[in-house]
Structure 1
Amino acid sequence: MKILVLGATGYIGSATVNRLLAEGHEVVAFTRSGEAANLPSVAGDLTDPASLRAAITGDIDAVINIAPPTGDEDADHAATDAIVESLAGSGRAYVYTSGIWVLGETGDDALDEDAPTNAIAIVGYRPRVEQRVLDAASRDVRTAVIRPGIVHGNGGGIPGMMIGWAKEQGVARHVGENTRWPMVHVDDLAALFTLAVTGAKAGSLYHGVGEESVLVADLAAATGAPTEVWTQEEAAAVVGEAFAEALGLNQVVSGAKARAELGWSPLGPGAVESMRS
């Protein structure tokens, strides 16, 4: 397949591109500059629907959107509409990246894809974008939405930030005594994107979760630094209120559906092991 990847040069995007190439697909990167190392690329911006339409040429078999949202709901809806309009009636695939923060607090039972959304502020409008993407299945677009857990591995993601904070401050801080995060290794997530773009049925929603719940205190301890519990208010003074709420979000989320329907088999190291290494 020839696949246009939005966000191809980012943390998750780079891993996904590597996986796609390893499996014999052709990748075109959609970047602001129109340049990406060792990849064919086209210039464009998520806030410019015309550039999206121009990039989705007739030889593009699928689009994967791993780019960060713009933060502007109208702009993200316009981007979705431009992609869908370009693919409509073709049966080609569109995979959109959301995240498990749209579920809000979960309690102790693992939530699956049938659970209602209760998005926290930092992702407040994203469930509406998800639904817009899923509804495009009625226009003969093979749409799928993936909600990754907290991504780890290769020194990146929020766990990578925790390691950086511990090095800088000499203490590993985490929000809440018993906060749990659903997590996924970046290479396993890349495998899920590849499975979804090639085999997901139209209108599919998947949680990209390798471990249903990991105690954040254990992640902090894995940095090797002394640990310290932050209140959400203390964290907000450093990272902002919206991100502090996300860091303190206690969740248990199931990734069983992707395993059952797509044959996804996460193989990467667990989050605590990944942090230690």
Structure 2
Amino acid sequence: MKVFITGATGTIGFHVARAFRRAGHEVAGLVRTPAKAKLLEAEEIRPVLGTLQSPAAWADEAAQASVLVHAAVDYTADAAQLDGQVLDVFLRPGAPGAPKRTVLYTSGIWIQGDTGGVPVDESTPIQPHAKVAWRPALERRVLASDAVRGAVLRPATVYGRGGSLTAMWFQGAVEGDVRVFGDGANHQAMVHVEDLADAYVRAAERSVAGEVFLLADGSRARVRDMVDAVVRAAGGKARVTYVPPSQAPEAMRKLAECLAMDQAADASKARRLLGWEPRHTDFAAGAATYLAAWKASL
């Protein structure tokens, strides 16, 4: 398969691109700068210079692919508008008589809202947080398109390698002061980035269409227990402060509210339809390994 990926050097996109290449597929990845392009070339991924803001510059490249993966997000700009522009390209009909392309759209678990720590699945009505209130409409565009085989992937909190949101815990533990939004009694659904990437490859290779997949490792750890494991891995001397989201800086308020949600997810559908089985299922047990990986990625 020929695969085109946005956000190809991002937390999710880079590992998804690598997973497709390791599976033997021809992969091209959208990247902003020549310096980052070298990261892709080292992984046998062909870089395509461009930005989400100017899709016309890479639309022809995307048209050559049989699998299109949107793994980029830019929260500093109008994320809804940028995602819409990407879908304008990705959802275009192919040449007459050509097989339909597969489009994989990256959403996220925050669209489910606070689940009260009770596992939800794809049939559970969504209650998107304000930070991602724009995503349901874009999910519907992908799922309803007759021009492509569209699927939506909703990852849980991603960890592993560079750390993603867990990097805040690592940095605080190393510097001696960890600040956690919420009271720590909440659960945070988790998924290792390598397991997540495997799900994307499986969804593309099985040509799924019209499906939504929640992707979480099934763990039910409290945030407090995961943070304590990180602190121990860093030497056990860091102070941990739990901060109500209402006290977060205004620019971080919505993010803080999302991180304080009590969420759990059931990924049985991905197991059933994709044969997906996460190999990493206990963030706290591997905290020392993940901390070391985060340090090495700096």
Q: Give the TM-score normalised by the residue count of structure 2.
A: 0.85
What is residue 201 of structure 1 aligned with on the other side?
208
Shift of 1:2: 1.2
In 2, the alpha carbon distance for the partners of 1:261 and 1:222 equals: 34
2: CA distance between counterparts of 1:30 and 1:155?
20
How many residue pairs are counted as aligned between the two chains? Answer: 273
Q: Aligned AA for 2:9?
A: T
Q: Could you tell me how far 1:162 is from its partner in structure 2?
A: 1.2
Matched, 1:223 2:236: no
SS at match of 2:60: helix
Corresponding residue to 2:66 among 55, 61, 70: 61
In 2, the alpha carbon distance for the partners of 1:118 and 1:146 equals 16
Q: Is the 8 A contact 1:206 1:255 kept in 2?
A: yes
1:187 aligns with 2:194: yes
User: Post-superposition shift, 1:188?
Assistant: 0.3
Counterpart mapping for 1:244-255 below 5 A: 244-255=256-267
**Residue type at the aligned position of 2:119:** A
Q: Does structure 2 conserve the Cα–Cα contact (< 8 Å) formed by 1:112 and 1:207? A: yes
Measure the CA separation in 1 of the matches of 2:160 and 2:169: 12
TM-score normalized with structure 1 length:
0.91
Tell me the equivalent position of 1:129: 138
Give the secondary-structure state (helix, strand or coil) at the position aligned to 1:223. Answer: helix
Alpha-carbon offset, residue 74 of structure 1: 3.0
Q: Distance in 1 between matches of 2:71 and 2:81?
A: 18
2:235 is matched with none
> CA contact under 8 A between 1:5 and 1:66: conserved in structure 2?
yes
Counterpart CA distance in 1 for 2:99 and 2:19 is 25
In structure 2, C-alpha distance between the alignment counterparts of 1:82 and 1:219, rounded to whole Å? 40
1 CA distance for matches of 2:18 and 2:132?
Answer: 28
Mean Cα deviation higher: 202-211 or 155-164: 155-164
Q: CA deviation at 1:172?
A: 5.2
Aligned partners of 1:2 and 1:25 also within 8 Å: yes
1:18-97 to 2 correspondence within 5 Å?
18-33=18-33, 35-37=37-39, 38=41, 39-58=45-64, 60-69=65-74, 71-85=78-92, 87=94, 90-97=99-106
Q: CA deviation at 1:174?
A: 4.4
Percent identity over the alignment? Answer: 30
State the secondary structure of the residue aligned to 1:273: coil
